[in-house]
Structure formats: structure tokens, C-alpha cells
Amino acid sequence: MTYRFPENFIWGAATASYQIEGAFNEDGRGLSTWDTFSRQPGRVYGGHTGEIACDHYHRTAEDIALMKELGLKSYRFSVAWPRIMPDGEGQVNTRGLDFYSRLVDDLLAADIEPLITLFHWDLPQTLQDRYGGWKSKQVSSLFADYADVVTRELGDRVKRWATINEIMCFTILAHKEDRHAPGGKEPEKIVNQTIHNALLGHGMALEKIRHNVSGAIAGIVENLEAPWPLMEEEPYLDAARKAWKIKNLQRLFPLMTGIYEEEVYTRNFGPLPDYTEQEMKIISAPMDYIGYNYYTCPPVKPAENPNGFTDVILPEAYPKTDMGWDITPEAIYWSLKFTKDYFGDIPVYITENGMAAPDQVEEDGTVQDIDRISYLRSHLKSLHRAVDEGCPLKGYYLWSLMDNFEWALGYSKRFGIIHVDYETQKRTIKESGRYYSRIMAVNRVL
């Protein structure tokens, strides 16, 4: 079997502003909640911050040259809200807009199509201080204002947009588990309200994209819960189908259906947020695609409980990445199948997928990350199976283009296909980068 993908399949790689840009206090940029959080003792591994990161702000020409050498067809990156509007509202920082405008022009000149994510967690600190961040619907509205500014400036050249990346990570991980910025444990009701307010911000921003960008291809990026059947037969398939819906009921299903299913929601996630029917209509406005970020998920099996399933605990010896995440490529296939079952033929992009590995530069200057090559091969084969069976997968963005600031884990974990020496900022294309380059060139799994 050749594992060939459709001719118009989009191959790319992804990054995020706070993880790579650096230049945290240059050219008018305001502070973000991650600037504040990472300076708090004990919050981030080794006291690391994103103040320099990969210095991408000053090295865009070098980084785009590497993208071109790899043969990327598309590059997904995020815009830093505090670089555009230092206070999150009001005055626009033209130097920040100019940076992204030049980046877009340089990408297009290199025949690399941009996919812009408007929000990848770096909320302006001022909005956290004034309104409590995403605890307030005022921030939903201000996010739409920010989206309006960015899309007016870049929408003449950029057609692919994602509103928000991984709502769970700045709501549940921040306010329930106290592991991400802005931090601080809150009651379930407030956590659920932050999720709703982020969904509302997505819908309001989507309206701005539609208005400002002719021919826009717009959606959201979700870190997908991806339960899969331990065996490919009933009743395991039924259990996995139920699990996929329930585990994605809080964010993905309201986006697609405009409904909170109260009984199941409250049983699994706690109190419903405060909302109006008009807000649900805004949240569920049709998208052009769903973006899925996928890394790991355990299988499920049938169970005699109200949900009808239980997670299978994988053994300690099960293959894992350097994050300690189980390597489960089967899950990504089933998620595409279940998406088609529940939502029909809405296009899907894998907007992140990759693995952390303990990479090191060898004496000959190479990085022999064969483990990452194996990870990519297994996941791409699983995706190909779904495409071959009629699932409308349209593209794949590897995470990540380069090693970067891995949030609360600082610089201790490396996801890139380009190695970054943080002392010298030297970039080295890893063996996995060469492998992925060949895949993009021939449009099939190797």
C-alpha cells in the first residue's frame, strides 16, 4: 500500500506566538498573562520564561528560509494579542501589526500559505486585571474587536483563520487545575463560564472574519478528546462512540449543535454556565472546518454506568513520548470517523500532532530522532486509513516547526522537527524534519 494522500492535501507545521517569538517588551508589546505567570516562582520548570524563546521576532527571515527548505505548503502561527493591542482594548500598536504584515508577505513570497490563529493563550494582562479575563463576557466582546483589527489588516492576503486554540488549556488547566496562566483555582461554575465565554468569543470573532475577509476559510482549533474502541467490534464500538460524544460535549458539541445537553453536561462537568439562546446561535454559526490537535488518548470499553463506557488504563510499559503520553495512533482514525458520524462532511484539519523526544545533537551535528519518525509514520498511516474510507481530512500541521517554550514545562521538552540551541539560537533540521520534508514532496507516507 502506498498511503498516498489526495492531490490538494495541505502539509504544514505549526507554532504559537509566546512559545517562539521572544521580544516580550519590544516595539510596543504589552504584557500577557503568560509573562506574568512564568515569572511567578515555581510555576514554570527551571524558572523559564518566553521572554527570549526562539527569538523568532528577530529571526523570521532565517526561519522562513528553513520552512522553504523543508517544503512546507502552509504555516500555522498565532498573533499575539498584546503585541497588537497592548492593553487588550483601545489603542492599536501599528508596529505589532507591521511585524505580522511583513511575516505574511515573506511567507507568501516563499510560496507558503499562512494559517493564522488569533488567540493561542497569551491574553493581555490588562484584561485579566480589569475584567478577570475569560471569566467576563466583556472579554468575549473585546476579543471580537481585536479580531476585527487583525483581519482588516491581514485579510486581503490571508484566507485561512482559526479563532482560538485549545479552550481547555486556558480555562480548565488554568482555573480548575491551576497549571496554566492565569492560574488560580475557581469553582466549577466559574470554570464552565470561562469555557462558555471563550466559545462566545469564538463566535463573535467568526462574524468579524466573515465580514472582513473575502473567501475566508475559518474555524476553531480544539484539543480533541479522542477515545477509541479497545476492539473493533460491538459493543466496544458503541461504547467508544458514546465516549467520544460525552468527552467532547462541553466544547465541540455546542459549537456544532448550539445546544448544552443539560443532563449529560451536569453529570460529567458540573453546573451549566449562564447563557442566552442568542449566544448559542453566535457560538454555533457554521464554520468552514474543525481543527483538531491530537497527541494521546486511552481506549475505552463498555461499562454498566450512566455513560456506558469506562477508560482502559494502559500499562506502565506502554510506549510513551517524553511527555509521558501514551502513543495511541489508532485514536486519530476513530476521531475522524466519529466526526463524520456526528457532524457529516465538515472538513477537518489536524492542526497539531507530534511528540516530545529527548533530542540531542550528535558529534556529526545531526539530530537522529528516529523515535519521532516512527511516531509520525504511525499517525499518518492512521490518518490515511480515515481518508481512504471517505473522511474529509484536508490537511495536516505537524507540531512543531521548532523546539520552543513548552508552557509550564519551559524548555525541558522538545517537540520540533528543527532543533534549537537556546544558548546560541542555532537551528538544526532534525532527521524527522528531513523525513517530513520527503513526505510533503511526494504526498505519501514513507
Q: Residue 139 in contact with residue 167, Cβ under 8 Å?
A: no
Residue 62 appears among annotated catalytic residues: no
How far CA 118 is from CA of 39, 147, 177, in Å, comes to 24, 7, 24
Taking the CA atoms of residue 106, residue 164, residue 148 and residue 20 in that order, the dihedral angle to the nearest 10 degrees is -40
CA distance 143 to 164: 10
Amino acid at 41: P
From the CB of residue 179, how many other CB atoms can be counted at a distance below 10 Å? 14
Which three cell numbers mark 348? 477537518
Residue 51 appears among annotated catalytic residues: no
CA distance 342 to 240: 13
Identify the active-site residue in 21, 113, 153, 166. 166
Cite the DSSP H helix spans in 312-419.
Answer: 330-343, 370-388
Q: How many residues does the chain have?
A: 446
Q: Residue 27 in contact with residue 93, Cβ under 8 Å?
A: yes
Q: Report DSSP state, residue 176.
A: I
Report the SS3 class of residue 132: coil
The residue to which cell 530522532 is assigned:
369
b/e map 289-322, b = 16+ CB within 10 Å: bbbbbbbbbbbbbbeeeebbbeeeeeeeeeeebb
The catalytic site residues sit at 166, 352
